[in-house]
Chain A
Amino acid sequence: MNADTATQLKAEVEEFLYREARYADEFLLDEWEGLLTDDFHYWVPAGRIEGDPAKQLAYLNDNRARVATRIRQLQTGKRLSQLPTSPMRRILSNIEVQQEAADQISVKANFVIYELAAQSTGELRVWPGQAQYQLRRLQGELRMAAKWIELVTAQAGQRNLTFLI
């Protein structure tokens, strides 16, 4: 891959990640779901990202069907823990892009999410961590095949985490 192609790929990946982040921040759930592959895997372990996710007890370990249920639950209008939804914004940085195969790209990025717990105590909650993405090119478009989140506070327990992290 020459320098121009790498720069172009990085720009394309960044544009995708920023869009994914905005959809999540703004609870544009259908749009967010539209970014996923059919085999999407969503994982927030209770420690580091290591080992086999299937064998661990995690905060969240969704296959594609379960993430659909998660979105459906948010869309019922009765999900107390997101009623009203949390005003939130996330900052992505330190984006590293690795082309694994012709249509397979892995990405690591740091993030900080600022969330206002508007449904309960009204406190500002800060969620720092690293996101690891697997992106796949389908019919020319990038899609998200996996999103794994390693929270800085993973071992310390969490307050409600019912938005899309």
Chain B
Amino acid sequence: MNVRLLSCETVGMEIDYRYLVRADRIHGSLLHDRDIFAEEMQQIFVRGWAFVGHESETKNNGDWVKRQLGTESVIMVRGDDGEINVLSNRCAHRGTALCWEHSGNDSFFQCTYHNWRFGLDGSLRAVPFPDGYSKPKEDLGLDRAGQVANYRGFVFANLDGSACSIDEHLGDAGFELIDRLCEMSPTGKIDLSKGWIGHRVQSNWKLWPESDSDGYHVGFVHASMSASTDTYYDDVAVGGEAVKSSRAVDYGRGHLELDWRPSYKQELSWLGVTRERVRNYCSALAKRVGDEVAQQLLWDGPPHAFLFPNLFLGETVIAIVEPVSPTEMIHRHTAVQFEGVDDAFNERLLRQTEAAVGPASFITSDDAITAERIQAGVSGTATSWAATSRGWVDLSRGMHREVMDEGGVRSSDASDETTNRGFWSRYLEIMSQE
């Protein structure tokens, strides 16, 4: 078998991603191999586009947040000109990290090792005892992301600048999913400045795009939630296959949705309230978009979607998938806050987020355990036991019944693994490109 599965035994050989990622299954080594992880960090998080943060986190010039793009530490900062820059959090001199807190406001970044000082655009402004340098200052600025794009406040970066355009990366579907979230706000604008909470999980990062877009597990992993409280997931994702009209959708390019809209049984299900409780919000929304559109929006709610490679739009929650090592990751989330609503409404969104997502939540804590159990299961290094199925992860559910529309969008029952296959198909495209 001309394939490389194990780091320690196969130094110098090419990893054959076409062998490891099949239409109906993937190999378990993709979830724990160190060399594969290293290549992913380069191909996906350095050479490709990834979500960095939201402009509402850096409202004023000089506001910055520290983020992790794959294994690269970056600073997202609003510069003196009001534009958002994405800079390497690494002094151009000797590599010292410039920022170590989560966020701040500064008029420059100064390294604590030799006091080199950089502007908010990353340019080198001053060094102590400059006579010692003959190199031009322009060559000693911070690394800047090669491409940065901002769509309705969502900031994406491509570190090395070699990726396609953001239009091509997001595609119509990516833009539309962000639109569907933002349009829920009475002003069309959302705010993501309540801070991010890290959920540390001992699993490979790729298990989370899978989990966040997997409709099959909800009735099993989250049975304890259904048994203890009423939730809209009971209507849209739990129960017999035949009665479910929710859809698993693969838009292509790794962008995925569990489309609950056909299954909601009443308006505002996604908020868990009736109109009487949030009348101000409903009328503010109708004022901007009209009664008819508002009616539809309130019924449909914001999407449950994943944008490749690291952004989860979970109705009123946003999460970033942050790889740490082949077997460690952070699921980092914040609560969507709408503009133009009263405090009580946004506080409702905070409480809803706390219930749904994070270490002490009612939902994703059970996903974390599941991811850790998968990690334990797939981390064996045998390529094949007696049965040929060993070592592989099956993702074939619903292959025979998914449909593709004229635009190339693939969909199937919400419990089908169409979304999982969509993730891996994009993964294969990226990892097998030169």
**Residue ranges of A at the interface with B (Cβ–Cβ < 8 Å):** 44, 46-47, 54-61, 66, 69-70, 72-81, 119-121, 123, 155-162, 165
Shortest beta-carbon contacts, A-B, top 7: A157-B198, A120-B372, A78-B224, A72-B228, A60-B360, A73-B228, A79-B224
Which secondary structure dominates where chain A touches chain B?
loop
Do residues B358 and A59 form an inter-chain contact, with CB atoms below 8 A? yes
Do residues B224 and A58 form an inter-chain contact, with CB atoms below 8 A? no
Is residue B354 within 8 Å, beta carbon to beta carbon, of the partner chain? yes
Do residues A66 and B355 form an inter-chain contact, with CB atoms below 8 A? yes
Do residues A44 and B197 form an inter-chain contact, with CB atoms below 8 A? no
Do residues A57 and B198 form an inter-chain contact, with CB atoms below 8 A? no
A159–B202 alpha-carbon span in the complex (Å): 9
Do residues B354 and A57 form an inter-chain contact, with CB atoms below 8 A? yes
- Tell whether A61 pairs with B351 under 8 Å between CB atoms, given A73-B225, A78-B224, A157-B198: yes
**Residue ranges of B at the interface with A (Cβ–Cβ < 8 Å):** 102, 194-195, 197-202, 221, 223-225, 227-229, 330, 332, 334-335, 343, 347, 350-351, 353-355, 358-360, 362, 365-366, 368-370, 372-373, 376
- Tell whether A121 pairs with B372 under 8 Å between CB atoms, given A57-B350, A157-B330, A158-B200: yes
Do residues B376 and A57 form an inter-chain contact, with CB atoms below 8 A? no
- Tell whether A73 pairs with B372 under 8 Å between CB atoms, given A161-B359, A161-B360: no
A78–B370 alpha-carbon span in the complex (Å): 13
- Tell whether A57 pairs with B360 under 8 Å between CB atoms, given A73-B229, A81-B365: no
- Tell whether A121 pairs with B376 under 8 Å between CB atoms, given A57-B350, A155-B102: yes
Among B195, B200, B360, residue most surrounded by chain A Cβ atoms (within 10 Å): B360
- Residues of A with C-beta under 8 A to B366: 79-81
Contact pick for B229, options A69, A81, A155, CB 8 Å: A69
- Residues of B with C-beta under 8 A to A46: 195, 197
B388 to chain A, nearest CB (A): 29
Contact pick for A158, options B199, B355, B372, CB 8 Å: B199
A44–B347 alpha-carbon span in the complex (Å): 16
